[in-house]
Amino acid sequence: MGGMPATIANLNFLVETAQKVLGDQFLWSCAAAGKDQFDLVTTAICLGGNVRVGLEDNLYLSKGVLARSNAEPIAKMKRIAQELGRSVATPDEARQMLSLPPAACGG
């Protein structure tokens, strides 16, 4: 209720609307929950966006295949991004892109 369905058509609408309002120079990302996660985030990569995946949004790598750790969906998206010609940011590069302070070292 009150939300927009997680569809490729709606993602495209949001990106096109942002481009009309903001121009082409803006940083954006997509995170999607549930069974359509990989379809949506792969589309986001194709549209020039960034993505975030993890077990907090989807426990499955594919239909009926549970991820054993958070590393598996991340590795899957890294492979997809690289196949599509996109580089993957390191944690430090992502922090810089988002204007976040460096990670604290130690405990």
What pLDDT does residue 107 have? 47
End-to-end CA distance of the chain: 41
Show me where the domains of the chain are located.
Answer: 24-89
Structure tokens at 103: 């990670």
pLDDT at 103: 82
Tens-digit pLDDT string for the chain (107 aa): 678 888 999 999 999 999 999 998 899 999 998 899 999 999 999 999 999 999 999 999 999 999 999 999 999 999 999 999 999 999 899 999 999 998 876 54
Q: Which residues of 33-53 are buried (b: 16+ CB within 10 A; e: fewer)?
A: eeeebbebbbbbbebebbbeb
Measured CA angle at 88 (ends 107, 63), to 5 deg: 95
Give the separation between CA 24 and CA 87, rounded to whole angstroms. Answer: 19
pLDDT of residue 3: 80
